[in-house]
Amino acid sequence: MYTTTAQDSSTARPRRYPTDTTDAEWALIEPLLPTPACETSSGGHPEQHPRRDVVDAIRYVIDNGCKWRGLPADFPPWQTVYGFYNRCSRDNVVLALRDSPREQIRTRAGRHHQPSAGVIDSQSVRAAETAGRDTRGYDAGKKVNGRKRHITTDTLGLLLGVCVTGAHVTDRRGAELLLRYLRKTQQRLSLLWADAGYAGRLITWADTALGITLHIVRKITGQIGSQALPRRWVVERTLSWITQARRTIRDYERLPAHSETVINWAAITLMTRQLTHQPRSKTGTEVPHPHRCAR
């Protein structure tokens, strides 16, 4: 699975890490990357390192949580990798890398490529010293000094959008920022399930200003401890999947926008793995499984 043949010109290094793209994954990712500068009318120097190796390096950092300067020596120089990572974020390439696999998964599952319903939730995480002090805060409810991730998924648990704020920002305020973005990118979205933290004036505002119905899923009467609740468990599972990438366990990024990029890259890996994973039957033949996430 991770071997490199002599005919494979997309990479210059052996496939040795679990985060390395498979041939099937690279076939999904490569067409979504911007055209190299040397192939455009404005011109530019040819890229010295295969793009596949650069993408593999980004995935390695996100999954293993190492510093950019701590990349293993078989990857391209960290300056090259970080520069490409920044350009993908600045030019919204990372959003295309996130949205295209999601739409393909939905289509393969027999659904419209854009969802009409989703689930919203937040997660407070501690911030490292590298996070700007003016971009973090204290979540008194969770007793966390750091940042808060506001995310929305479709009903399959696939990431639709993410907004990172200081942990002191309320769920309702974070939801306003996220829903404004979703209204621009997800025209069919009309229903969202949420927990009681989103109750109140947000329900009226979302309905009148954005045309989105917010349905509150409350805890079961007499519930003690954690329990999976209808609809809400989908987004909670996605948050759990995302935090399997070590770079997301804490917030190490200087700016919230950088944190959003990290979360998007973690989701990209999850979805490309899901699209290309082929479970094996008892007879050894590969069978399709559109809803399973290989992680």
pLDDT score at 88: 94
Q: Is the confidence at residue 289, as pLDDT, over 90?
A: no
User: How far apart, in Å, do the first and last CA atoms of the chain sit?
Assistant: 15
pLDDT score at 19: 95
Mean pLDDT across the stretch 259-271? 97
pLDDT score at 6: 38
> Which helix (H) or strand (E) is 81 found in, with range?
helix 78-90
pLDDT-derived band at 220, boundaries 50, 70, 90: low
pLDDT digits (tens, 9 = 90+) for 190-216: 999 999 899 999 999 999 999 999 999
Which residues are CB-contacts of 184 (< 8 A; sequence separation ≥ 6)?
Answer: none
Residue with tokens 């490529």: 113
Specify whether the CB–CB gap between 108 and 129 falls below 8 A: no
The 10 Å Cβ neighbour count of residue 93 is 16
3-17, 100-114, 242-256, 261-275: the lowest-pLDDT one: 3-17
Statement: 114-254 belongs to CATH 3.30.70: no
pLDDT digits (tens, 9 = 90+) for 29-68: 999 998 877 777 676 777 899 999 999 999 999 999 999 9
pLDDT-derived band at 12, boundaries 50, 70, 90: confident
Specify whether the CB–CB gap between 176 and 122 falls below 8 A: no
Closest CA to 163 of 264, 42, 83, 17: 264
Angstrom distance (rounded) from CA 255 to CA 251: 10
4-8, 135-139, 153-157, 181-185: the lowest-pLDDT one: 4-8
The overall average pLDDT reported for the chain is 88
pTM for the model stands at 0.87
pLDDT score at 277: 83
Domain ranges of the chain: 23-90, 114-254
Strands 117-126 and 137-139: unpaired
Mean pLDDT across the stretch 10-27? 93
Total residue count of the chain as it appears in this document:
295
